[in-house]
Amino acid sequence: MQEWQTNSGLGGVLTVSGHLGYHPTWDCERCGEPWPCPALRDIPRHQLRPAALIPVMAFLLRGAIRDLRGRAEGPEPPEIVRRFLWFLPLTEVEARAIARRLR
């Protein structure tokens, strides 16, 4: 079980939960909340394997920023960064710096 989760990275915990979000809306397929949705954010950090999660979320972030920025009621890029990297204790300044690099 342990090994399976490690190997599958994002797939492990996130896929099993069924709470997945995709381009272009980034709303959760299962609960309709902005993804990563509250159900995912409730998963204890020790089950998330940040080392596997960070590269995947960084990749998805780039697409999400492209899709979501500029929408009238949409989130700003730093908010999107904090949403996708919810498991990291990012400051506002750090989130802005990451958003700039992913543009």
In 1-49, where does DSSP find H-type helix? 2-8, 16-17, 38-41
| CB nearer Zn ion, residue 11 or residue 70 | 11
Among 5, 10, 27, 31, binds Zn ion (CB under 5 A): 31
SS3 14: helix
In the complex, least distance from residue 22 CB atom to Zn ion, rounded to whole angstroms: 12
19 in contact with Zn ion (CB under 5 A): yes
In the complex, least distance from residue 43 CB atom to Zn ion, rounded to whole angstroms: 11
The token duo for 56 is 């995947």
Torsion of CA 86, 87, 92, 98, to 10 degrees: -90
Name 71's Cβ contacts closer than 8 Å, sequence gap at least 6. Answer: none
| CB nearer Zn ion, residue 41 or residue 101 | 41
Among 13, 14, 28, 99, binds Zn ion (CB under 5 A): 28
The footprint of Zn ion (CB under 5 A) covers 19, 28, 30-31, 37, 39
